[in-house]
Amino acid sequence: MKGKEKKRGPIIAIDGPSGVGKTTISKLVAQSLGFRYIETGAMYRAFAVAANDAGVNVDDEDELEEFSKGIEVTFDNNYEKIFINNKDYSGRIRDASSGELASRASSKKAVRDFLVRLQRELGHEGCVVMEGRDIGTVVFPDADVKIFLDAKSEVRAGRRHAQLSASPGFAENGGATVDAEKVAGDIEERDRRDSTRRHSPLKKADDAVYVDTSEAGVRDIEKRVLGIIKERTGIGDNNR
């Protein structure tokens, strides 16, 4: 029977570089639609931090692959907490150093293969908003709606700086690590690495809708994204 394979709820893919407001917007949109929200960046971060803890060199593909064979990645009911071998990593993955480790480990094919498989399992029933760098291009190329969020680099650096300053790790480090200029440099380097890597580089899918978040407020962007989803799937509005 034709179309039989598409017996699932909608998949909303939200991609873009750091500091564009992906997480905030994706959460709000998922909440509004009553969909599950899945943040794939947290998986790369937790994987890289756990590997680093285990003494794995996060630039070594073979070591990373071996590490992936011995771990199980799980979540709490709302996908807000992430566990690796039952250990909760959620509180340790928001600082700049975990972002750096994640960016390095995520350039390795073995890591991507492992986490993309998990992400497909998590999303295959649909009714999900999945956020990352390659959701619309690689994880779910047949997603019902694809959004690519972007913003001017100075705006992104400012947002990331505010985010890091508010994170628990900032106080513990005496604030010394969150220098605005350094954040801007780090974000530039990370985006360069994420966009130029050989495997699944960050790029807009041809059929994704480009949304610039530089000037707009969170609620405006949320409205815009919900409008795009409504237009493409007919879903939305009823519970707002």
CB of 134 to ligand DC, least distance (A): 5
Q: Number of residues interacting with ligand DC: please give it, by CB under 6 A.
A: 14
Among the listed residues 207, 190, 139, the one whose alpha carbon sits nearest the alpha carbon of residue 20: 190
- Residue 199 DSSP class: S
**CB neighbourhood size of 91 (10 A):** 10
Binder to ligand DC among 190, 205, 211, 221 (CB under 6 A)? 190
Residue with tokens 């994420």: 194
Q: List Cα–Cα distances, 172 to 13, 85, 165, 178, in angstroms.
A: 35, 26, 11, 12
Does the protein bind ligand DC through residue 160 (CB under 6 A)?
A: no
Does the protein bind ligand DC through residue 40 (CB under 6 A)?
A: yes
Q: Both tokens of residue 74?
A: 């799980």
Binder to ligand DC among 21, 26, 51, 134 (CB under 6 A)? 134
In angstroms, rounded to a whole number, what is the distance separating the alpha carbons of residues 49 and 13? Answer: 25
Binder to ligand DC among 11, 12, 14, 18 (CB under 6 A)? 18
What is the distance of C-alpha 3 from the center of its chain? 30
Does the protein bind ligand DC through residue 137 (CB under 6 A)?
A: no
Among the listed residues 153, 148, 129, 152, the one whose alpha carbon sits nearest the alpha carbon of residue 235: 129
Give the contact letters, 71-110, x = binds to ligand DC (CB under 6 A), - = no: ----------------------------x--xx--x----
Could you tell me the strand order of the sheet in which 87-88 lies?
A: 73-75, 82-84, 87-88
Residue type at position 47:
F
Does the protein bind ligand DC through residue 186 (CB under 6 A)?
A: no
CB of 191 to ligand DC, least distance (A): 8
Of the pair 28, 235, the CB lying nearest ligand DC is at: 28
Of the pair 94, 230, the CB lying nearest ligand DC is at: 94
Of the pair 188, 230, the CB lying nearest ligand DC is at: 188
For binding to ligand DC (CB under 6 A), which residues are involved? 18, 40-41, 44-45, 99, 102-103, 106, 132-134, 190, 194
